[in-house]
Amino acid sequence: MKKKMKKLIALVGVTALLGCWTGTGYSATDTTEHNVQINVREVALINAIGTDPEFTIGAPSVGGEAFAVTSSNADAKWLQYSSIVSAPNEKRKITAAIEPDANIPAGATLLVTADDPQGGTGFLGSGTGQVELAESPADIVTGIRSGYTGTGGSEGVQLTYELAIDLADPAALYANSYTVEVKYTLTAEE
């Protein structure tokens, strides 16, 4: 009986060793886990690029005609922006305003047209068309969510400026140089 028992123990030991070598019974691998933290930050950045527009109110081609308004670089300005909103239904907008007591000639109105965004990717919103610039901010781009316009020379929202003068009452015009600061703000859309 002792001999049979020794043979049985030896047979069980050899079977166990064969099981380890053939990949059954014992495993040489193990697993573990850990967490990776990913933080997405809210982003609201805006930049204006291009050449500043310039307008001249001056002499017409023939004496007796209304004053002429000429411009250079009226469409050479672009707004570029990057946006990450904090929730899927959140939207942003860009507003335009001039500072209180802006240095605009009497009888003149400054207008800006914002085109739809060009280039970039994501939900970049859409331009609202032409607005009169005033102290109260006016929406010029609405419906912005997460995305970016790109930074190339013709990427983003092209701005086109226009200067209108009241030709029916030119008595308020006086020769001078004027500089008007236009402020663009990327903000939450209510």
> pTM for the full model?
0.81
Q: Residue 57's Cα: distance from chain center in Å?
A: 35
**In which residue are the tokens 């982003």 written?**
43
Q: What pLDDT, on the 0 to 100 scale, is given for residue 53? A: 97
Q: Give CA–CA dist 165/40, Å, rounded.
A: 48
Asked if 165 and 57 touch (Cβ cutoff 8 Å), the reply is yes
List the chain domain ranges: 1-28, 43-188
Provide the token pair at 105: 């000639």
Instruction: Give the C-alpha distances (Å, rounded to integers) separating 131 from 48, 90, 114, 181.
Output: 18, 24, 9, 16
Q: What pLDDT, on the 0 to 100 scale, is given for residue 56? A: 96
- Closest to 165 measured CA to CA, from 173, 157, 154: 173
Enumerate residues 6+ apart whose C-beta is below 8 A from 128. 114, 139, 140, 141, 142
Q: What pLDDT, on the 0 to 100 scale, is given for residue 116? A: 98
Q: What pLDDT, on the 0 to 100 scale, is given for residue 161? A: 98
User: Can you give the pLDDT of all 190 residues of the chain as single tens digits?
Assistant: 556 555 555 555 555 555 555 555 567 999 999 999 999 999 999 999 999 999 999 999 999 998 899 999 999 999 999 999 999 999 999 999 999 888 898 889 999 999 999 999 999 999 999 999 999 999 999 999 999 999 999 999 999 999 999 878 888 888 999 999 999 999 999 8
* Secondary structure class of 21 (helix, strand, coil): helix
Q: What pLDDT, on the 0 to 100 scale, is given for residue 134? A: 96
Q: Give CA–CA dist 144/43, Å, rounded.
A: 12
